[in-house]
Amino acid sequence: MPDMPSIDLAGKKVLVTGGASGIGAAVVDLFLELGAQVSSADLQPHGAMEPDTVIRFQADVCVEQDCLRATAGAIDAMGAIDVLVNCAGIPDTYTPTLEQSTQSWQRIVDVDLTGTYLMCKAVGAHMAQRRSGSMINISSIVGLGGFPRRNAYGASKAGVIMLTKSLASEWGSLGIRVNCIAPGYIRTPLVETLIRENKVDTGQIERRTPLARLGHPREIAHAAAYLSSEWASFITGATLPVDGGWSAFGGAGDIGIA
């Protein structure tokens, strides 16, 4: 194996969903810094946090034609897609199950699970033709253990983990690696808003987390860059918790959104 002193994504063609804000925006920024060419597909037509060098597409990942159109547009603009990072998603309503509407359940499943599936399917057809590619799906620690009042989100994020394993098993012979990241409590703009509104108890999160803090979107981007790179060339079907040790510590807690 060649010596690889640092992660280098120079020349990589990358499509990021949900790239206009939060974890997706951090992935876009870091991948550009590491030399990649980046396209972003997001429901927001113009993400305020996206650099001018990003190729933007408006897309709803729940709509298969939008996924196909964004994929085709990225291929036309960049010539290929080497890496797909699925960051698009919505949080849950943190509602007791007996008060939850079927519509709320379905919306979360549609975006967080079906949207990931549709993007993997659209880009997978292209990568299969090239017999090369890497996909990174974003799950959550809520997909690793039971969290009260978070059934739709937990089921969706657990589904993303199993989808990742299934695709990795199916597409490995085609040269496609598929991996997953399970973030813990991350200081995204959404979480910062919930903190200001006293809907998330950071003190409780910090006490429950072995590293005693919330994470930053950039730290999820670091994991995505690693899994996209040649450093991870023999890794597929894996789920990497990036959670400050939360999932290692023990049982889940009923304290907020992750």
Through-space distance between the first and last CA atoms of the chain, rounded to whole angstroms: 37
Alpha-helix runs per DSSP H in 98-236: 102-109, 115-130, 151-171, 189-196, 202-208, 217-228
The rounded distance, in Å, linking the Cα atoms of 206 and 163 is 31
Residue type, 74: A
| Cα–Cα nearest to 181, from 109, 248, 242 | 242
Q: 145: which strand partners? A: none
Enumerate the active-site residues. 153
- Length of the chain as a residue count: 258
